[in-house]
Amino acid sequence: MEKKGSKSLGKKPKPARMKDGTDPVKNFEKWKKKYNKTKARVKSERRREKKPEWQVEKEQIDRLVSRYADINPKDAVKFSDFPLSKKTLLGLQEAQYRQPTEIQRQTIGFALRGKDVLGAAKTGSGKTLAFLIPMLECLYRHQWSSMDGLGALIISPTRELAYQTFEVLRKVGKNHEFSAGLVIGGKDLKTESERIHQTNIVICTPGRLLQHMDQTACFTASDLLMLVLDEADRILDLGFSDTLNAIVENLPPSRQTLLFSATQTRSVKDLARLSLRDPEYVWVHEKARFSTPATLEQNYTVCELQHKVNLLFSFIRSHLKKKVIVFFACCKEVQYLFRASAASDAGGSRPCFHAEESEGYRRAWSEGDRKLRRDEFGVRDAGAIGRTLLTPRTKRAARIECKLSEVVLEDAETRNIQIRAGDGENGRSRRRDGENSKEVGSRRAEHLLQSRSEKEQWSNAIQLLQGQEKVGERGAPSTTITMSEASEIKNTLKRTETSSCADLGKLQFSAGLVIGGKDLKTESERIHQTNIVICTPGRLLQHMDQTACFTASDLLMLVLDEADRILDLGFSDTLNAIVENLPPSRQTLLFSATQTRSVKPGPAQSEGPGARFSTPATLEQNYTVCELQHKVNLLFSFIRSHLKKKVIVFFACCKEVQYLFRALLRVDLEGSFESVLPPQTRRSSDSKVFCRLRPGVPLTLKCVCVLFQSVLRLRPGVPVLALHGKQQQMKRVEVYNDFVRKQNAVLFATDIAARGLDFPAVNWVLQFDCPEDADTYIHRVGRTARYKEGGEALLLLLPSEEKNMVQLLQDKKVPINTSRSELRVCDFSKL
C-alpha cells in the first residue's frame, strides 16, 4: 500500500477523460449533452421500475410481520421496540405515549401474533391501548379499507366507556385511514344505519350493536378480524348474557378475540361462549400482593343508616377543594342526593332550584313559597296547601275520577312529590253508607264511562296538568298519553284544537301525534319533550323500544280512548308491553262512547295503586289512602299522603322539599306516623320502613327526616354533578366532559361510572353504599389512583355488611383498613 502510495505521490494526476477519450473540460458542451441524455434514460428506467404504493406497504408489512416472532416483552422499553407501523408509532408519539405499561408490554406481542388474549391488570394500568394498538396493526396488516367494512369490534358495557375508548382511538389512530364509529344508544339509529356498513372499527355497547345486527340490512360482521371485549367480565355476566350470545352468533369463528378487565373472568363456560382458541392469559398483577394500585390508600368506615347522609355531606364539606366521585347503588339515590346537595344555599333564604328548571317554574314556585311563608303552619296551612297543590279544577277532576286522584307537584325534572289524595266526597259518603268498595268502584267507573264526553276527557287531562302547575318546559317528558285507534286520532286532535288549544298555548304544554306512517326519526327527536302524546298503540311501543331518550316513567295520566277496542285481543300484547313501561302510580281513564257496558278487565296491567281505577283492587287501595283524611285535618292528610309517596318524591330537593320538610316537622314521627304508612308496609310488620331505595336497604322515616335536615343545612359550595342511567345521553356526555375538565367537583354516580372511565386526577372515591361484590369495589376505587397517580377511597358500610364485605375484599386481596376516623362528622339533624 505504502509503495503504491509513495509511487503516486511524485506523479502528476492524469486529466479525466470521457469514454471516447475526449477531455470533458475541453468538450464541455458535448459532455453535458451526453450526461443529460444518460440521466433522463436512467430516470425513466427508474420510473418504470417504481413499485405501486400498496406493494411498498406490503413489503413494509412483511418486514414487520417477520419481526413478530422475535418480540420479547422484557426488551420492549419504548413503543418503537415493537414492530409497529409508522402510522401507529406516530399516533402514539403525538398522543405523548412513549413507554408501554406492563399490560401493554405483555399483551401486544401475543396480540400481534394473532393469538386470543385474556388480559387482566389493575385499574388505570393502560388496558385500552393494550388492545387498541394490536387492533390498528391488525387492520393495517390486512390493508383494510372502507370498502372492506367492519374489521374490528370493541364492545364496552357502558356508553361512557365506549365514548372514551373512541376518543383514545381517535388520538392514537389518526394517521391511519380506517373509519371508526361510536355505536351506542341515545343517538340517531337511522344515521348510524347509513354509515355503519362502511365503518372499519365499531366501538359499541352490546344492545345497540345487536339492534343494528337485527335491523340494519346492509350491516354485516362476517369479515370481522378482531373482537375486543373491554371490561369483559361485566359484559360476560348475566345482565348482558343473551345479548352477547346473539351478537357472537353473527361473528365469524375465525376472528381474533381479546378480553380485557381489571377483574378478569376465568370461567371456562364464558370462554367457550366466545369460542376462544387456545387463549394467552396475561395476568399482569397476579403475583402482586394487592389487586388494587399500590398508590391507592383505602379505608372503610362503619356507620348507621341514618348517619350516612350526614357523613356524606360532612365528607363533601371537608373536601371542597378535591375532585371526588361518590358511588351510589341506584339512579334514584343519585338523583335524590344530587339534588339534595345541589341545594347549596338551602338555608332557607334562597330558593334552591336546579339549573335545568324552567324560568316559569322557578317563578311560580318562589311566588308560591312567599305566599306560604306568610302563613303560620297549622290548620291554616291546610288551605294554603290545598290551594297550591289541589286547585279547584283538579279537585273536580279528582271527584270525577271518583276513586283516585293523583296530584303531583312537579319540579323541572318532573320527579318530585306526589300526593295521593283520597277519594272525593262522593266516595266517602258512599262508603259511609256501607257499600262495598268493589261495587262502588265498578259502578262509578261505569258511570264515568257512560257520562264523560271526549271533550271532558281532554279538559280533564289539561286541568290535571294545570292544577299541578306543571309548565311544559323544554325537555319535560310525557305526562299524558292518550291512546286511540288510528281512525280516531284526527278527530281527537281536532277536538283538542277546538276545545283546548287555547289552554295548551297558554300553559305551553307540548303535544304530539305519534302514529304510524310518519317519519320515525323526526318523532324520535321530539317525543321526549312532548308533554301530551296522542298515539296508536303500535307506534308508541315502537318508540318505547327504539327511542332511547323516550321514557314514560313520570307519566301522570293514561287515557284509553275507545277503551274497549284497545283492550280487546287485537291490541292485547302491545298494550301489555306498553303498560309494563308505565308507572303504576299514574292515573288511568278509560273512555268508550259506544260499548261502555262491555268494557273488559283488559290485559294484565301493572299492579299497584292507581293502575286501573275500574278494578276493585285499585279502589280498595284508594280507600285505604283516604282513611288518612279521617284522622287528621286536611293539611296533614295531604302531607301524610304526600309523605307516603315520598318513596318517589324524596329524591328531589327543590322549593317543595323545604316546604314539605316544615310540614314534616309537625308530624310525630315515631308515634302516629304508622298510620300514614302504606297498608302493605304495615302488614309487613316493619312499621318503620318508609321506603326502599333498593331491595334490602330500608330507609326509615327518621332517616328521611334527617336527610331533609341535611339538605336544608348543606352549603357545599362545590360543583356537584350526577351521572346515572336515567339521564339523557346528551346530558351524560356533558356531565362526563364536565367532570373530566373540572379541578374540583363531586360526581354522584351509579355503577355506570364504575368501570373504565378515566377521569384525570380524582383524589377520593367514596362508596356510599356497599358494592355488590368485591369486583365492583375494585372497579369503583379504580377511578382514582390511575396510572401512577395517588388517590384515596372510603367505603361506607352498615354494621350488618361489615363482616361479609371485609372478608370478600380480603379474599380478593384488597388492602382495606378500618378508617382512622379523621372525618369530622357534623350532626346536621341537631342543627
Ligand X SMILES: Nc1ncnc2c1ncn2[C@@H]1O[C@H](COP(=O)(O)OP(=O)(O)OP(=O)(O)O)[C@@H](O)[C@H]1O
Residue 105 found at the interface with ligand X (CB under 6 A): no
Copy the grid coordinates of residue 317: 364539606
Q: Report the residue number, 150 or 172, with the smaller CB distance to ligand X.
A: 172
Query: What residues from 61 to 90 belong to the interface with ligand X (CB under 6 A)?
Result: none
Q: Which stretch binds ligand X (CB under 6 A): 95-103, 396-404, 405-413, 543-551?
A: 95-103
Residue 160 found at the interface with ligand X (CB under 6 A): no
Nearest-approach distance from CB 786 to ligand X, in angstroms: 5
| CA–CA separation, 189 and 215 (whole Å) | 10
Q: Which stretch binds ligand X (CB under 6 A): 96-104, 632-640, 667-675, 729-737?
A: 96-104
Nearest-approach distance from CB 132 to ligand X, in angstroms: 9
| CA–CA separation, 807 and 805 (whole Å) | 5
Nearest-approach distance from CB 97 to ligand X, in angstroms: 4
Q: Report the residue number, 160 or 758, with the smaller CB distance to ligand X.
A: 758
> Of all helices (H) and strands (E), which one includes residue 564?
helix 563-567
Q: Which of 134, 441, 603, 782 binds ligand X (CB under 6 A)?
A: 782
Q: Report the residue number, 85 or 480, with the smaller CB distance to ligand X.
A: 85
Tell how strand 405-409 and strand 417-421 pair up. Answer: antiparallel
Number of residues that bind ligand X (CB under 6 A): 19
Q: Report the residue number, 263 or 484, with the smaller CB distance to ligand X.
A: 263
Q: Report the residue number, 104 or 658, with the smaller CB distance to ligand X.
A: 104
Q: Report the residue number, 122 or 646, with the smaller CB distance to ligand X.
A: 122
User: What sign does the dihedral 52-58-64-67 (CA atoms) show?
Assistant: negative
| CA–CA separation, 658 and 714 (whole Å) | 12
Q: Are 328 and 771 in contact (CB under 8 A)?
A: no
729 C-beta neighbours (distance < 10 Å), count: 16
377 Cβ neighbours under 8 A, 6+ residues apart: 662, 663, 666
739 Cβ neighbours under 8 A, 6+ residues apart: 323, 721, 723, 745, 747, 759
| CA–CA separation, 164 and 166 (whole Å) | 5
Q: Which of 64, 76, 91, 100 binds ligand X (CB under 6 A)?
A: 100
Query: What residues from 336 to 355 belong to the interface with ligand X (CB under 6 A)?
Result: none
Alpha-carbon distance values, 456 to 158, 427, 506, 591 (Å):
45, 20, 19, 10
Nearest-approach distance from CB 101 to ligand X, in angstroms: 5
Q: Which of 82, 87, 97, 536 binds ligand X (CB under 6 A)?
A: 97
Copy the grid coordinates of residue 198: 362502511
Query: What residues from 3 to 42 belong to the interface with ligand X (CB under 6 A)?
Result: none
Collapsing DSSP to helix, strand or coil, 6 comes out as helix
Residue among 472, 473, 475 at smallest CA distance from 461: 472
Q: Report the residue number, 568 or 789, with the smaller CB distance to ligand X.
A: 789
Residue among 453, 428, 451, 427 at smallest CA distance from 441: 427
Q: Report the residue number, 653 or 749, with the smaller CB distance to ligand X.
A: 749
Q: Are 172 and 247 in contact (CB under 8 A)?
A: no
Q: Are 123 and 765 in contact (CB under 8 A)?
A: no
Nearest-approach distance from CB 165 to ligand X, in angstroms: 8
Nearest-approach distance from CB 422 to ligand X, in angstroms: 52
Q: Which of 786, 791, 793, 795 binds ligand X (CB under 6 A)?
A: 786
Copy the grid coordinates of residue 454: 271526549
Q: Report the residue number, 116 or 758, with the smaller CB distance to ligand X.
A: 758
Collapsing DSSP to helix, strand or coil, 309 comes out as helix
Q: Name the β-bridge partners of 261.
A: 120
Q: Which stretch binds ligand X (CB under 6 A): 4-12, 60-68, 98-106, 720-728?
A: 98-106
Tell how strand 152-155 and strand 201-204 pair up. Answer: parallel
Torsion of CA 278, 776, 248, 217, to 10 degrees: -150
Binding letters toward ligand X, positions 225-264, x by CB under 6 A: -------------------------------------x--
Q: Report the residue number, 55 or 743, with the smaller CB distance to ligand X.
A: 743
Nearest-approach distance from CB 776 to ligand X, in angstroms: 13
Q: Report the residue number, 477 or 782, with the smaller CB distance to ligand X.
A: 782
Nearest-approach distance from CB 282 to ligand X, in angstroms: 12
Contacts 24+ apart (CB under 8 A), 524-527: 524/188, 524/189, 524/550, 525/188, 527/478
DSSP codes, 144-173:
--GGG---EEEE-SSHHHHHHHHHHHHHHT
Q: Report the residue number, 73 or 386, with the smaller CB distance to ligand X.
A: 73
Nearest-approach distance from CB 47 to ligand X, in angstroms: 43
Q: Report the residue number, 661 or 739, with the smaller CB distance to ligand X.
A: 739
Q: Which of 116, 333, 357, 758 binds ligand X (CB under 6 A)?
A: 758
Residue 94 found at the interface with ligand X (CB under 6 A): no
Q: Which stretch binds ligand X (CB under 6 A): 46-54, 119-127, 308-316, 636-644?
A: 119-127
Query: What residues from 305 to 324 belong to the interface with ligand X (CB under 6 A)?
Result: none
Q: Which stretch binds ligand X (CB under 6 A): 397-405, 549-557, 622-630, 780-788?
A: 780-788
| CA–CA separation, 546 and 531 (whole Å) | 19
Q: Report the residue number, 174 or 521, with the smaller CB distance to ligand X.
A: 174
Residue among 749, 668, 740 at smallest CA distance from 702: 668
Q: Which of 88, 101, 106, 314 binds ligand X (CB under 6 A)?
A: 101
Binding letters toward ligand X, positions 120-159, x by CB under 6 A: -x-xxxxxxx------------------------------
Radius of gyration of the chain (CA): 34
Residue 291 found at the interface with ligand X (CB under 6 A): no
Q: Report the residue number, 108 or 210, with the smaller CB distance to ligand X.
A: 108
| Residues making contact with ligand X (CB under 6 A) | 97, 99-101, 104, 121, 123-129, 262, 756, 758, 782, 786-787
